[in-house]
Amino acid sequence: MERAKVYYTKEITPESLIRIYKALNVELKGNIGVKVSTGERGSKGYLKADLIGPFVKSLNGTIIECNTAYPGARNTEEEHLKVAEEHGFTSFANVDIMDGKGEFKIPVNNGKHLKYDIIGENFKNYDSIINLAHGKGHAMGGFGANLKNQSIGIASRNGKAYIHSCGQTEDPNECWTVSYEQKDFIESMAEAAKAVADYLKENNKQIIYITVMNAISVDCDCDAHQKDPLMEDLGIVASLDPVANDQAFIDMVWNSTDPGHTKMMERVDRQVGRHITEYAEEIGLGTTQYELIEI
């Protein structure tokens, strides 16, 4: 497989976000959904309105999200919308909690763990998707960027339970009590991300991938007690390949000279986090081989 193009800028500003999108040279059509994490109430690292607002508004995009499987401030549509408003997302776009009124299943082709993926009903309404991720650590996945944003992020509440339990249950109350191997959970996320990519391709829909690598904490934006950032901001990467984009983020963490990167690496490897890109490559979602193009 030929190397994927990953565009990169060290600068993290509203202008550089628009510039890196334009570097992809893709004209997104129709109704555009921008998948971000709205961030748990109490978290600090979610992508802020003043950074992403001008970009989303320039495309007339809708912020799209799904409810959480864990108990918190975002596990119902009503409460989730309140948090989205508190975090400034409603100030620049409509916010669609896609599983608020329902969900549907899409196939997982040749999965080892999942037979299907369950995603928010309203995902059907979008012709183009921007997977706009925040690169950071994650207590369960090791790290979160585009692959996590496409798997756990686009899955409905029940779909999240199904991924977290490696295909054992769709019940959010049960999924935390079943046992599984950590590697299987990482692979389940990759399988769900591939299912979304396959669904979009089969329905002639578009998707692009952008990861903002700022406020890098060992904890995810879904953590109400998220720890403070532990290393320097790295910039923004963008690609048409989610595997390459995630690999670029991980490589930048590993190659950083910031002393804080050691704790980030420990968090990722403790959870077998780097396995997600190699397994995603194995199942045909993308490639870990990329060419970094600075803009």
pLDDT value of residue 211: 98
Q: Which two tokens stand for residue 64?
A: 């799209």
- For residues 26 and 70, the model is more confident at 26
pLDDT band at 161 (very low <50, low <70, confident <90, very high): very high
Least confident range of 38-42, 120-124, 243-247, 255-259: 38-42
As beta bridge partners, residue 63 has 34, 95
Buried b (16+ CB within 10 A) or exposed e, 187-210: bbbbbbbbbbbbbbeeeebbbbbb
**Does residue 72 surpass a pLDDT of 80?**
no
pLDDT value of residue 71: 76
**Does residue 222 surpass a pLDDT of 90?**
no
pLDDT value of residue 189: 98
The pLDDT tens digits for 268-278 are: 999 999 999 99
Question: What average pLDDT does the segment 91-107 reach?
Answer: 97
For residue 58, the surrounding DSSP H or E stretch is: helix 49-58
Contacting residues for 236 by C-beta, under 8 A, at least 6 apart: 8, 9, 11, 12, 16, 17, 20, 210, 211, 212, 213
Contacting residues for 164 by C-beta, under 8 A, at least 6 apart: 69, 140, 152, 175, 176, 185, 188
Contact 93, 63 (CB under 8 A): yes
The pLDDT tens digits for 251-264 are: 999 999 999 999 99
For residue 157, the surrounding DSSP H or E stretch is: helix 157-164
Question: What average pLDDT does the segment 5-32 reach?
Answer: 98
pLDDT band at 73 (very low <50, low <70, confident <90, very high): confident
Backbone φ and ψ of 138, nearest 5°: -155, 130
Least confident range of 75-84, 236-245, 272-281: 75-84
How many independent structural domains does the chain possess? 1
A 10 A CB-CB count for 256 gives 17
Q: Which two tokens stand for residue 85?
A: 């408003």
pLDDT value of residue 69: 86
- The whole-angstrom separation of Cα 1 and Cα 62 is 34
C-alpha of 282 from chain center: 20
**Dihedral sign, Cα of residue 206, residue 146, residue 26, residue 122:** positive
pLDDT value of residue 70: 81
pLDDT band at 126 (very low <50, low <70, confident <90, very high): very high
Helix pair 261-270, 242-255: axis angle to 10 deg: 130
pTM for the model: 0.97
- The whole-angstrom separation of Cα 170 and Cα 72 is 18
Pairing assessment for the beta strands 62-65 and 95-97 based on DSSP bridges? parallel
Largest CA distance in the chain: 47
Domain housing 185 = 4-294
Query: What CATH number should be reported for the domain holding residue 139?
Result: 3.40.50.11440
pLDDT value of residue 224: 84
